[in-house]
Structure 1
Amino acid sequence: MNDPLVFREVTLAFWKVHILHHAAKEPVYGQWITNELRRHGYDINTGTLYPLLRRMEKNGWLAAEKDPDRAPRGRINYRLTRTGREVLFYLRKKVRELYNEVA
C-alpha cells in the first residue's frame, strides 16, 4: 500500500516493534536494520530510518553506542534499554491480543 497516512501511522509502528525485538537479542545497527526490514518486504530508506532511531533513543528505548572497532568513521550500535525492554514486553502482549482478535 502506498498511502502516506497508513505509512506514517501504521508502518512506522511496525518498524519500531521490529527494531525493539531485534535489539533485545543483540545490539543492531542501521544497515542491518535496513536489510532486516527489507527482508520482511518493507521499503525503507536511511532518511526515514535514522530519524526513527533517534526518536527511539530520545524516548529512552534505545541507547546508541559508537563501535570502536569501526573507526575512524564508526558505526552506531543500538542496544535496548531497560525502558525499551518494558515497552517491548507491553507491545508483545498487545500484539498477541490484537492478533487473536483479528486473525
Structure 2
Amino acid sequence: MDNKILRKLFLGFIQIHILHHAKEEPIYGTWMLEELREHGYEMSSGTLYPILHSMEKDELLTKSESNVNGKIRKYYRTTDKGELVLAEAQSKAYELFKEIKD
C-alpha cells in the first residue's frame, strides 16, 4: 500500500483525535504522540508539531505554556471553533462508519 495515500487519508483522523483530547483536557506533544501510537498511528514529533501549529493557525487550538521541571511545555486546548469542527466531524464520521461497517 502507498504510505503517502494512507498518510493523507489518516491526517483527518489524527486531527479529529487531537481535537477530541484537547477538548477533554490540555494536551502536549509527547503525550499526544503516545496516545496516537496506542491507536496505531506511527509518527514523529517532526510530523505532529506542524499539525498542531497548523491547527493553531486555523484557530482550532489555542496554546499556553507552562514551566515543567525547568522546561517550557506547550499545552493545547480546543477553541470554540475547534469544538464546532469536532462536532461536525463526529457527525460525519458516525454516518460514514455506519455506511462502511459491513
TM more than 0.5: yes
Residue equivalent to 1:92 = 90
TM-score by length of 2: 0.93
Residue equivalent to 2:26 = 27
Aligned residues: 101
Q: 1:16 offset after TM fit, Å?
A: 0.3
Summarize the alignment of residues 1-103 of structure 1 with structure 2, pairs less than 5 Å apart. 1-7=1-7, 9-68=8-67, 70=68, 72-103=70-101
Q: Which runs of structure 1 show a deviation greater than 4 angstroms over 4 or more consecutive aligned residues? A: none
Equivalent AA in structure 1 for residue 97 of structure 2: Y
Describe the superposition over 1:39-83 as per-residue Cα deviations: whole angstroms up to 9, x where unpaired: 111111011000000000000000010013x26430000001000
Give the share of equivalent positions with the same residue, in percent. 41
User: In 1, Cα distance between the equivalents of 2:53 and 2:98?
Assistant: 32
Q: Which has the higher strand share?
A: 2
Q: Secondary structure at the match of 2:93?
A: helix
Structure 1, gaps ≥5 residues long: none
User: In 1, Cα distance between the equivalents of 2:56 and 2:46?
Assistant: 16
Equivalent AA in structure 2 for residue 5 of structure 1: I
RMSD, aligned α-carbons: 1.2
User: In 1, Cα distance between the equivalents of 2:69 and 2:6?
Assistant: 39
Q: Secondary structure at the match of 2:71?
A: coil
Structure 2, gaps ≥5 residues long: none
